[in-house]
Amino acid sequence: MLVLFYTPNSFPPTMHTSSFQQNILAELHHELAGTRTILERVPFEQAEYRPHPKSMSLWQLATHVVNLLAFKSLFVTHDSRDFLDPNAPKPGPTPTSKEELLARFDQYSALLREQLQATTDENLTHNFRLHRGEQTIFEQSKVAAIRLMGLNHSIHHRGQLTVYLRLLDIPVPGLYGPSADEK
């Protein structure tokens, strides 16, 4: 399998022909660095900011981005997740400071890396089922779940955070090259 991935500080991306595990780890390394940079710029003093009444607040969105890391871990360590299961793992309480948010990000990032390093390609080819009781939301290989519902989902919400930063007139860092604020 030939997969195209970005590596830290490299553009254009580097090609990897290694395992699923190594490809995910390489992309995760780059994406986590960019996500942390965005989170560092989120102003806690404007936590309640919403660009639109239907939007999450800035702090809800930043917390969601962090908590998605714990969700990604489920794809590695479990075969399913039922949203109706009262005993299923839940995210911790909402962080009450930027320091707490970043500490949780670092903790969840380290745990996800450890879990990925400890898994095998064989495990990643097994299916993961996300469901609500008997209703299947999706079922696909763990590697696809990590990629689509894990990385892509996080990148989507990180993109939303960059819009919030722009609207608050906070310089937006470049994630895949320089931003307009870094020229």
Residues 104-136: tens digit of each pLDDT: 999 999 999 999 999 999 999 999 999 999 999
- What pLDDT is attached to residue 100? 97
Q: For 149-165, write each residue's pLDDT tens digit.
A: 889 999 999 999 999 99
Q: State yes or no: 157 annotated in a binding site.
A: yes
pTM above 0.85, yes or no: yes
- What pLDDT is attached to residue 90? 81
End-to-end CA distance of the chain: 37
Q: For 15-40, write each residue's pLDDT tens digit.
A: 455 789 999 999 999 999 999 999 99
DSSP 124-160: HHSEEEEEETTEEEEEEEHHHHIIIIIIIHHHHHHHH
- What pLDDT is attached to residue 77? 93
Q: State yes or no: 153 annotated in a binding site.
A: yes
- What pLDDT is attached to residue 3? 47
CATH number of the 3-171 domain: 1.20.120.450
Q: Are the C-beta atoms of 14 and 8 separated by less than 8 Å? A: no
Say how far apart CA 172 and CA 44 lie, in whole Å: 16
Q: What is the mean pLDDT of the chain?
A: 89
Q: State yes or no: 29 annotated in a binding site.
A: no
Domain ranges of the chain: 3-171
The label of the residue with tokens 């299916």 reads 127
- What pLDDT is attached to residue 6? 43
